[in-house]
């Protein structure tokens, strides 16, 4: 019988990711806390927290890993029309807390959320420290879509996205990919695959390949890291 390791409260070390369970896929350890040092140490190893209210903190490293390479984002014909009409205003780091709250809001299909109050506080602190960032989509002055995640080196770890209007999060993702490509980012970590992400160009790679990407790009510093993000990229018709 496999025993799930419990993290040491006084250390930010994690078990080897090869010890993650196959069922449930990627479950590696439990316990610890959500202080910035631990969360950043986790992401540098390809590990992330994911749990619901009332559960202990659970840490994951799934196999395979879903990723999106910014230069390979797929823009459908219908989405191109939306981009051409400029239906949304896109910003970065304008309202991180609001994006997290919207991402964690209960829906008809998802009455419970893993974005707990503790998670909002933890990632809010990471945002204050310059590690966590948000991308927002606006329509008529209202926040209607967006996403948030963590940037380390040239890797963006996507956490969650939301849409209150059709195509809002898709347009935000297109602009994020364009900006990351302009800044020289190598990959967006999507953690676990979904139909929505696959339609946008995400793919699955082996956990070992993802670790290689982290070793290559996770510690490559950029002047933008640690600073509020400002969107300078604009979509044009010739974009892929």
Is-same-fold flag (6-62; 66-217)? no
Contacts of 34 (CB under 8 A, 6+ apart): 49, 57, 118, 119, 121, 122
CATH 3.40.630.70 fits 66-217, yes or no: yes
Note the CATH number of domain 6-62.
3.30.70.3550
Residue from 163, 189, 172 nearest 102 by CA = 163
Q: Note down pLDDT in tens along the chain; length 240 residues.
A: 568 999 998 999 999 999 999 999 999 999 999 999 999 999 999 999 999 988 999 999 999 999 999 999 999 999 999 999 999 999 999 999 999 999 998 776 665 678 999 999 999 999 999 999 999 999 999 999 999 999 999 999 999 999 999 999 999 999 999 999 999 999 999 999 999 899 999 999 999 999 999 999 998 777 777 778 999 999 887 665
Domain ranges of the chain: 6-62, 66-217
pTM: 0.94
In whole angstroms, give the CA distance from residue 223 to residue 218.
14
């Amino acid at each position: 019988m496999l025993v799930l390791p419990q993290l040491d409260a006084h250390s930010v070390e994690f078990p080897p990711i090869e010890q993650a369970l196959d069922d449930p896929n990627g479950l590696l350890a439990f316990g610890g806390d959500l202080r910035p040092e631990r969360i950043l140490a986790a992401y540098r190893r390809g590990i992330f927290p994911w749990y619901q209210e009332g559960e202990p903190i659970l840490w994951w490293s799934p196999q395979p890993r879903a990723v999106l390479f910014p230069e390979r984002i797929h823009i459908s014909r219908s989405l191109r029309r939306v981009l051409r009409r400029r239906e949304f205003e896109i910003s970065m780091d304008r309202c991180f807390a609001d994006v997290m709250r919207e991402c964690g809001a209960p829906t008809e299909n998802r009455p419970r959320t893993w974005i707990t109050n503790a998670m909002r506080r933890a990632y809010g602190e990471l945002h204050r420290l310059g590690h966590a960032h948000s991308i927002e989509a606006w329509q008529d002055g209202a926040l209607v879509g967006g996403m948030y995640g963590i940037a380390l080196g040239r890797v963006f770890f996507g956490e969650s996205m939301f849409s209150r209007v059709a195509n809002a999060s898709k347009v935000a993702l297109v602009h994020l990919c364009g900006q990351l490509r302009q800044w020289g980012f190598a990959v967006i970590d999507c953690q676990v695959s979904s139909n929505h992400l696959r339609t946008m160009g995400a793919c699955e790679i082996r956990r070992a390949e993802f670790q290689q990407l982290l070793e290559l790009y996770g510690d490559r510093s950029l002047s933008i890291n640690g600073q509020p993000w400002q969107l300078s990229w604009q979509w044009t018709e010739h974009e892929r």
